[in-house]
Amino acid sequence: IAFTLGNGDLPKAILLAEDATAEIYLHGAHVTSFHRHGWGEMLWMSDESNFRTDRPIRGGVPICWPWFGQPQPELPQHGFARTSQWEVIETKTHADPSLEIALRLTDSEATRQLWPHPFELTMRVIVGRDLTMQLSCLNTGEEPLDAEAALHTYFHVQDIDAVRVAGLEGRSYIDKLDAMQVKPQAGELTIDREVDRIYLETPDAVTIHDGAERRIEIQKSGSLSTVVWNPWIDKSAAMADFPNDGYRTMVCVETTNAADDVRTIQPGEVHTITQSCRCEPATGPADP
Ligand code: BG6
């Protein structure tokens, strides 16, 4: 594990594991790259992203916390974790052999102005054949706290027209583009327009079928909701930090605690949301 300065001179960690390479910015504890050897890049990054301490990075895995979306107009969209400076608290080498890094964010004067709760948030990133991310919130205060969360993962795909998201069939979703109406998901999800949905009561496994070459298996825990987002043409063009054709090679499938999946954490207790993702061949069984 090496530390260096990345884009915008922001500090980042580079994890060179036997099976994969990953990069994590301390700004936002933001994973910007995961490349399993032989499989190409798993995450999508905008080449027009900001790399500034006051802006979120566009692409990779922003951490939305302690809220998802924008509950009130004066609050920052998706919370403050993604624009905070985190500190590295631990690095480890496992026997399997994977590498692990842990980063921490605690409440400060600035966070208490936005959200009046003491907390200790830890992001663990384990880089091996899988990319595993664990976001844990310890309530260090004396009152219960309510928190939403998202591991807002931008997956790189070959061609959005050939993408199918499997595992959400039969679930209901809140359609953020249609007055928050709740609708059923009939079959596998394909994307041919702007999509912005919070799926409810979602299973622990979802698969992104990425054309003829590969699929991405996503496993989660501590989460009962999943967000799927693709901005499509107009929204891509409207976002300054997003390339106009970027929507063709990305899809966000986000492990979340959102909508009715907000978590109440009692004083002294911890809630952890975990997501593991892995590239596999398009057909055939998953690697054990
Ligand atoms: C998604 C939300 O998760 O994130 C969308 O559901 C939002 O509504 C998108 O547009 C991107 O958000 P941001 O703040 O990173 O532009």
Burial 87-97 (b: 16+ CB within 10 A, else e): ebeeeeeeeee
Q: Is 196 in the pocket of ligand 1 (CB under 6 A)?
A: yes
Residue 142 CA to ligand 1 centre (angstroms): 32
Q: What is the pLDDT of residue 169?
A: 98
Preceding omega of 281 cis (within 30 degrees of 0)? no
For tokens 């207790």, name the residue: 269
**Which of 20, 25, 39, 12 is CA-nearest to residue 132?**
20
Q: What is the pLDDT of residue 288?
A: 60
0.90 surpassed by complex ipTM: yes
Give 3-state DSSP helix, strand, coil % of the chain, rounded to 5. 10, 50, 40
Please give the average pLDDT of every successive group of 10 residues along the chain, which has 288 residues.
97 97 98 95 98 98 98 96 98 96 98 98 98 98 98 98 98 98 98 98 98 95 98 98 98 98 98 97 75
Q: Is 152 in the pocket of ligand 1 (CB under 6 A)?
A: yes
Q: What is the pLDDT of residue 213?
A: 87
78, 117, 152, 156: which is the annotated catalytic residue?
152
Nearest CA to ligand 1 atom 5: 196
Q: Select from 229, 234, 251, 254 the residue to mutate for testing ligand 1; criterion: most ligand atoms less than 8 Å from CB.
A: 229
**Residue 148 bears catalytic tag:** no
Q: Is 77 in the pocket of ligand 1 (CB under 6 A)?
A: yes
Cα–Cα distance, 30 to 12 (Å, whole number):
9
**Residue 254 bears catalytic tag:** yes
Q: Is 229 in the pocket of ligand 1 (CB under 6 A)?
A: yes
Q: Is 148 in the pocket of ligand 1 (CB under 6 A)?
A: no
Q: What is the pLDDT of residue 286?
A: 67
Residue 166 CA to ligand 1 centre (angstroms): 21
Residue 139 CA to ligand 1 centre (angstroms): 26
Contacts of 239 (CB under 8 A, 6+ apart): 58, 231
Please answer whether residues 31 and 61 qualify as being in contact, where contact means their C-beta atoms are separated by less than 8 angstroms.
Answer: yes
**Which of 224, 215, 210 is CA-nearest to residue 173?**
224
Domain ranges of the chain: 2-281
Q: Select from 75, 78, 177, 251 the residue to mutate for testing ligand 1; criterion: most ligand atoms less than 8 Å from CB.
A: 78
Q: What is the pLDDT of residue 227?
A: 98
Residue 287 CA to ligand 1 centre (angstroms): 32
Q: Which token pair is 206? A: 């979802």
Nearest CA to ligand 1 atom 15: 58
Q: Select from 30, 58, 77 the residue to mutate for testing ligand 1; criterion: most ligand atoms less than 8 Å from CB.
A: 77
Residue 123 CA to ligand 1 centre (angstroms): 21
Q: The domain 2-281 is classified under which CATH number: 3.40.50.1110, 3.40.50.300, 2.70.98.10, 2.30.40.10?
A: 2.70.98.10
Residue 69 CA to ligand 1 centre (angstroms): 7
What string of H, E and C letters represents the secondary structure of 186-251?
CCCECCCCCEEEEEECCCCEEEEEECCCEEEEEEEECCCEEEEEECHHHHHHHCCCCCCCHHHHEE
